[in-house]
Structure 1
Amino acid sequence: MARRDIEFNAEGITLRGWFYPAEGAGGTAPTIVMAHGFSAVKEMYLDRYAETFAAAGLNSLVYDNRNFGTSDGEPRQEIDPWAQVRDYRHAITYATTLPEVDADRIGVFGSSYSGGHVLVVAALDRRVKAVVSQVPLVSGHDNFRTLVRSDFIDDFRAQFDADRAARFHGEKPAMVPVVDPDPLAPSALPTPDSYTWFTETHEQRAPSWRNEVTLRSVEMLTEYEPITYVPYISPTPLLMLPAQNDVLTPTDLAVAAYEKAREPKKLQFLPGGHFDAYVDGFDVSGPAARDWFVEHLTR
């Protein structure tokens, strides 16, 4: 069966995406809920994961984060991590209303920023029975300081404060590019591989992606600490998939977060850098996530 378009209510905001039925399912089946990372839309390779899961007998519910892509929400291009965490939980609730879904066998998959979200969701929501966190952001505080030179941080803080004052007086939120060809220019994700992947993927398969986010999206990132929830995921099985040479969400930060997790858990390194998980390294990342969900949701 082909995927179908879906939409659901998330506390007054309509979120939209796709539902992929499990292939060969004679009744209800396990279901994987997933959304994308920082500013990304569902067309940026989440379909690959959903197709892989469907072929293994798993339903997939894929949606665009609020304020992005086909989903509603204002202000556009704003990323509030806690709103996105709540939306994962709304998506789980919606999934349990579908006739194809076994409500007792729900998994969550997240990558990059949403790789952090699923750590939080799995710790808070016991409807989740398995979690895969791929190339995750685990500490906004520490990650920000790996991406931004220390002598630039005060300037960022001044921009945050100026934007807050402007909003108080009724002005629209300030905007900043997601990526820029110059890694020293102001952008939310100032690494060369970020610029290459976002621009190429936008051109090839995701025309709805926009190269901007609100400045306060970056401020909220610096305040977001999924690592604090990692010890509370157990007894839900956790698979973490860091990349071997991740310079966007650094490998060592992900490994440090993994070490805080309790059993059952598994760590598997993906080849290359952050964005290789979706493209050149998908033959590792896709099957790894699939096998984890099959092991823990179908037995």
Structure 2
Amino acid sequence: MTREDIEFNGEGGVTLRGWFYPAQNTTTPAPVVVLTHGMSGVKEMYLDEYASVFAEAGLNALVYDHRNFGDSDGSPRQELDPVLQVRDYRNAITYATTRPEVDKARVGAWGTSFSGGIALMVAAIDRRVKAVVAQVPMISGPATLDRLIRPDFLPHVRGNLDADRLNRFAGGEPAMLPAVSADPMGQAAMPQPDAYEWFTKVSLDRAPNWKNEITARSLEMAGEFDPGSFIAQISPTPLLMVIADEDACTPYALAFDAYERAREPKQLVVTHGGHFDFYEGPGFDEVSAAARDHFVKHLRA
């Protein structure tokens, strides 16, 4: 499928880079869906497959790397700042609406994992978004960390974060953590075994520019981010939430609770599998079709 390499200014003038997929088999201007990846992920990690599904359905698709990751500029490298990611996402929408192929009145937001939370937040505060899909979304940083970090590990983790903050305050380099680890008891941003298996496999197969590291401060800032607290504000924008019944990375119980707090119009897809089972194979076919149909219904109608 044809795509165009693009770049645009994120918050503060940082250059963000990605791809634009023109809508197929339709007249222009056409709707647009903005997509970006989760924690440490880069666009080569199957976002091209989702964008192709949307483009084939008559939707423009704009994919980009977060600041500090992949092909986008920004420093410190490998640092996840959710506040800036929300603002960059809104800049991506602005850039998309300046393109002649795009109908600026029909914008969709799509996110997966951590960026599922970003998409929820953007849809709640930016009324340019007319439909949103949150796939296995990160609902609450505080609640997720409470569930995923053993209580007896917390003092050690907090001590390390405090030491990193002091070091950076004094001008030192940021401390780094592995994004994933082969040792489920080891220190990593995503210590789950399926996270290690997926990221290492996909980085070898199709994303050689992915790096298995993230700043320690990223974990701290992720723990401050609580997009689920905004979910009731998404209405009247139509919401589709995709939840996996074996998700060990973004706890599905938090997603179910958030969905209950969301107002209509809303739709829930509960699918069988773990957090990383939806980027290829039958899982991908199921959830990409659900997202495609949601956007076609609410953006092309």
Q: Shared topology, TM-score over 0.5?
A: yes
Cα deviations by residue, 1:54-92 (Å, 9 ceiling, x for unpaired): 110000000000000000000100000110010110000
Partners in 2 of 1:220 and 1:125 — Cα distance?
22
The correspondence of residues 79-118 of structure 1 with structure 2, limited to 5 A, is: 79-118=80-119
Partners in 2 of 1:76 and 1:207 — Cα distance?
16
Q: CA deviation at 1:97?
A: 0.4
**In the alignment, what sits opposite 2:3?**
3
Partners in 2 of 1:164 and 1:297 — Cα distance?
44
**In the alignment, what sits opposite 1:206?**
207
- Find the partner of 1:293 among 280, 292, 295: 295
**In the alignment, what sits opposite 2:131?**
130
Partners in 2 of 1:18 and 1:283 — Cα distance?
22
Q: CA deviation at 1:147?
A: 1.4
The correspondence of residues 22-33 of structure 1 with structure 2, limited to 5 A, is: 22-33=23-34
Q: CA deviation at 1:202?
A: 0.3
Q: CA deviation at 1:205?
A: 0.4
Partners in 1 of 2:246 and 2:119 — Cα distance?
22
**In the alignment, what sits opposite 2:147?**
146
Secondary structure of the equivalent of 1:288? helix
The correspondence of residues 129-208 of structure 1 with structure 2, limited to 5 A, is: 129-208=130-209
Q: Are the counterparts in 2 of residues 7 and 15 from structure 1 also a CA contact under 8 Å?
A: yes
Q: What stretches of structure 1 of length at least 5 have no aligned partner?
A: none
**In the alignment, what sits opposite 2:272?**
271
Secondary structure of the equivalent of 1:274? coil
Q: CA deviation at 1:19?
A: 0.2
Q: Are the counterparts in 2 of residues 270 and 277 from structure 1 also a CA contact under 8 Å?
A: no
Q: CA deviation at 1:279?
A: 2.1
Partners in 2 of 1:47 and 1:205 — Cα distance?
11
Secondary structure of the equivalent of 2:264? coil
What amino acid is aligned across from residue 175 of structure 1 in structure 2? M
Q: Are the counterparts in 2 of residues 239 and 265 from structure 1 also a CA contact under 8 Å?
A: yes
**In the alignment, what sits opposite 1:42?**
43
Partners in 2 of 1:18 and 1:69 — Cα distance?
13
What amino acid is aligned across from residue 30 of structure 2 in structure 1? A
What amino acid is aligned across from residue 293 of structure 1 in structure 2? F
What amino acid is aligned across from residue 82 of structure 1 in structure 2? V
RMSD of the alignment, in Å? 0.7
What amino acid is aligned across from residue 78 of structure 2 in structure 1? Q
Secondary structure of the equivalent of 2:6? strand
Secondary structure of the equivalent of 1:110? strand
Partners in 1 of 2:89 and 2:166 — Cα distance?
31
Partners in 1 of 2:229 and 2:120 — Cα distance?
9
What amino acid is aligned across from residue 289 of structure 1 in structure 2? A
**In the alignment, what sits opposite 1:65?**
66
Q: CA deviation at 1:33?
A: 0.5
Q: CA deviation at 1:270?
A: 2.3
Paired residues, number: 299
Partners in 1 of 2:252 and 2:215 — Cα distance?
27
Q: CA deviation at 1:26?
A: 2.0
Secondary structure of the equivalent of 2:152? helix
Q: CA deviation at 1:278?
A: 1.1
State, as a whole percentage, how many aligned pairs show the same letter.
Answer: 59
Q: Does 1:52 align with 2:66?
A: no
Q: CA deviation at 1:24?
A: 1.5
Partners in 1 of 2:271 and 2:102 — Cα distance?
30
Give the TM-score taking structure 1 as reference length. Answer: 0.99
